[in-house]
Structure 1
């Protein structure tokens, strides 16, 4: 847990001063302060490997005695159970198939203990279109959910990370993007999710900057636009860059990663979130950057200048569930090659 000290508090006060100045009355008239509220938000994020590991299975397939005897679980049910237990304000998924998204949406708003009673609380952004072998022919992409009602969402398309030749050959390609939605009752507060490419290629020309850096810089520009408009936000996702990587530097200017200050788990880095090889996971992984087999690439970011003075922020990663199955429960496997990442931050949000 990290307390926002004098530097961050000063930044927040400076931002408030800018906002007040921007909304001030003409010279000689009384200036009304910009109305704000202080609100604590919790985030739950998971890259679920919906196609790569779960093969598009959404939890609706029939189960039998073998499934029951082996205690097999669907990734969808593991996700819903964790969300209902953690009870976050916001949820995001990367690498999720459309059917999995629909099933999770239904289960989060139903049952004996629904997570939300909002009518419009879920959004999906396609990054790989339906009609291929991916996700059993369904669309594939990113999703976000909110416990409270959402306003109109927007999908921000990021620089493309594949060539026309690869697309034409039928290879696995994605239209990378960032999906954002404001709270309906608090439109100055946005929640976003993104999944940055892991590619180091220089596109579109051999002399171009590396495409992963281009996408990270595009996210930075979008978030900076939110700040310039007086909007607050939290963004979660698989950034395919570990804390301290040079390509992440520009994005981190003016932003705080919620798991970077835990004194028990690698200050400045945080707990690992991803397995390079889910078939042979490290049984006792070290949590720091030196362990290249288990990197920290899933992040939750908050605008540093909007973290409430004297507040705290924190994050945690959860063990990957181990009892998923794609063969009717006969064999069990990890439910993803990423861990669930949760985080909490208190923000100052404009209410005008």
Structure 2
């Protein structure tokens, strides 16, 4: 007689609101925590009822200021365990670290921190992830892919980094996890280097030739189906459908979707003595299946 066959793992269905913003924390703010940026982004996280938030191009002092603002507002359920930071450079913000961060309304488990292939710059790009403490098979990640097209070790470095990030999130999937990944991918949805990400079910004029397993939460936007809405500053015209580029993305694996999803980009706040960033905030809502 054969051995007993293990029952498949039980799954739960849950809906999450994700939020991501490249804040140009040094480029436009020089690390300031008092010029309106912290208030603008913390208010947006609260006002959008976000469950997860990802920040790119953030200085360490700004990270601590966001942490303090959200902690003081009652936004997180556990004020001591709701955020993680990972530097791209230890001194690029006037001598302090510069990098990316994630925040969660619910307590987080131990972070996963991965360095990506070097692009020849002073930054070491990263992938930062963390699971929910109470639901460890739900994992939120952020990354900021290099804009460089330089060929390093026989491949364009942005393609190499995208492949490394995809391999990591696919490994999480193979281990039973549901991953929501948000960040600045420095690639427009119709670019060939994102074909290994997007699922073949997305096959429209604005986005075809896909071979992957993921959907981007803004890819059904009727204004530009398959592409979505611009996420860069007004005035840019390099995107599809007569708009600016879309390079900030929120991906979820298609086989983890358990209902409708949608995304939207928000106009850039001007409460920082001018525009608060050269990127728009991207938000998305998704219902997913998660191993219990």
Higher helix share: 1
Does residue 57 (structure 1) correspond to residue 32 (structure 2)? The answer is: yes
- Map 1:113-192; keep pairs closer than 5 Å: 114-118=74-78, 119-130=80-91, 134-162=92-120, 173-192=122-141
CA distance in 2, matches of 1:27, 1:34: 20
Q: 2:189 aligns with which of 222, 243, 246?
A: 243
Alignment-derived partner of residue 314 in structure 1: 262
In structure 2, what is the Cα distance between the partners aligned to 1:129 and 1:179? 16
Paired position in structure 1 for 2:148? 199
- Specify the alignment match of 2:240 in structure 1: 289
User: Is 1:215 aligned to residue 158 of structure 2?
Assistant: no
Shift of 1:291: 4.5
How far apart, in 2, do the equivalents of 1:28 and 1:159 lie? 44
Would you say the 8 A contact 1:109–1:117 is kept in 2?
Answer: no
Q: Is 2:58–2:101's contact at 8 Å kept on the other side of the alignment?
A: yes
CA distance in 1, matches of 2:139, 2:108: 9
- Whether 1:86 and 2:35 are equivalent positions in the alignment is no
The residue matched to 2:94 in structure 1 has which SS?
A: helix
What's the CA shift for 1:211?
Answer: 0.2
Instruction: Measure, in 2, the Cα distance between the counterparts of 1:30 and 1:154.
Output: 32
The count of corresponding residues between Structure 1 and Structure 2 is: 278
TM-score computed with the length of structure 2 as normaliser: 0.91
Q: Distance in 2 between matches of 1:138 and 1:248?
A: 33
User: Cα distance, 1:34 vs. partner?
Assistant: 1.4
Shift of 1:98: 0.4
Cα deviation per residue 1:178-212 (whole Å; 9 max; x = unaligned)? Answer: 000001111111000000000000114xxx11000
Report the equivalent of 1:338. Answer: 279
Deviations 1:217-237 (A, max 9, x none): 111111110111111110000
The equivalent residue for 2:201 is: none
Q: Is the 8 A contact 2:224 2:241 kept in 1?
A: no
Which of the pair has the greater relative contact order for Cα pairs under 8 Å at 6+ separation? 1
- Using the alignment, how far apart are the partners of 2:242 and 2:160 within structure 1? 26
Larger Rg: 1
Shift of 1:287: 9.6
Q: Which protein has the bigger strand share?
A: 2
The CA distance in 2 between the partners of 1:339 and 1:76, in whole Å, is: 15
Shift of 1:29: 3.8
Q: 4+ residue stretches of structure 1 with deviation over 4 A?
A: 285-288
Question: Are the aligned partners of 2:237 and 2:245 in contact in 1 as well (CA < 8 Å)?
Answer: no
TM-align CA RMSD: 1.7
Is the contact made by 2:140 and 2:181 (CA closer than 8 Å) also made in structure 1? yes
Residues 272 and 287 in structure 1, CA contact (< 8 A), matched pair in contact too: no
Contact residue 219 and residue 251 of structure 1 kept, 8 A: no
TM-aligned CA deviation for residue 286 of structure 1: 6.8
Contact 1:44 1:343 in 2 (8 A): yes
Is the contact made by 1:195 and 1:239 (CA closer than 8 Å) also made in structure 2? yes
- The unaligned stretches of length 5 or more in structure 2 are 199-211
Distance 1:286 1:216 in 2: 24
